[in-house]
Amino acid sequence: MKDDNGVEIVEVEHESSKVVGVDNDSAKGIKGIKIVYYILGVLEALFAFRLVFKLLGANPNSGFVSFIYAVTQVFLAPFTSIFRTATTQGIETKAVLEPMTIIAMIVYALIAWGIVKLIVIIKSQNSRPQ
């Protein structure tokens, strides 16, 4: 069949869309992975704030800065004394580079990645037919 301009019109029949369900175990695995990455994202954001605040010499008496330092200190405790902190005294502020913050960011990212891989391995073993 052709239209008025001579272009051929093709009728296409297609099946109704099927919704493929996800079994409950897979959904739990996906949810677990999302939770792990969400927690990692929150930690990494807090560490990034701390790193920038220390580098720029933010006022530790400020409420928000003090909150960030207090929350992140708990997670940085295992990495204290690995390296010395580098400080430079400016006219008004003191800039501090804390390598432990960078190391913690890397270590926590690797731990989260390992947990996610473990979830994937466990879920793939559970989904195999026995």
Q: What is the pLDDT of residue 14?
A: 52
**String of DSSP letters for 38-90:** HHHHHHHHHHHHHHHHHHHT--TTSHHHHHHHHHHHHHHGGGTTSSPPEEEE-
Share of the chain above pLDDT 90, in %: 55
Which residues, in sequence order, are CB contacts of 35 under 8 Å at separation 6+? Answer: none
Domain spans of the chain, in order of start: 24-127
- The span from the CA of 39 to the CA of 59, in Å, is 27
pLDDT bin (cut points 50, 70, 90) of residue 26 is: low
Mean pLDDT calculated for residue range 90-109: 91
Tell me the pTM.
0.74
92 DSSP assignment: S
Q: Which residues have C-beta within 8 Å of that of residue 86, sequence separation ≥ 6?
A: 96, 97, 99
In the numeric block, the tokens 């175990």 are attached to: 25
Average pLDDT over residues 26-46: 90
Give the pLDDT confidence score for residue 23 in this predicted structure.
55
pLDDT at residue 62 tops 50 = yes
Mean pLDDT of 72-80: 94
Q: Which two tokens stand for residue 46?
A: 């807090």
Is 1 a residue whose pLDDT tops 90? no
Average pLDDT of the chain, as a whole number: 84
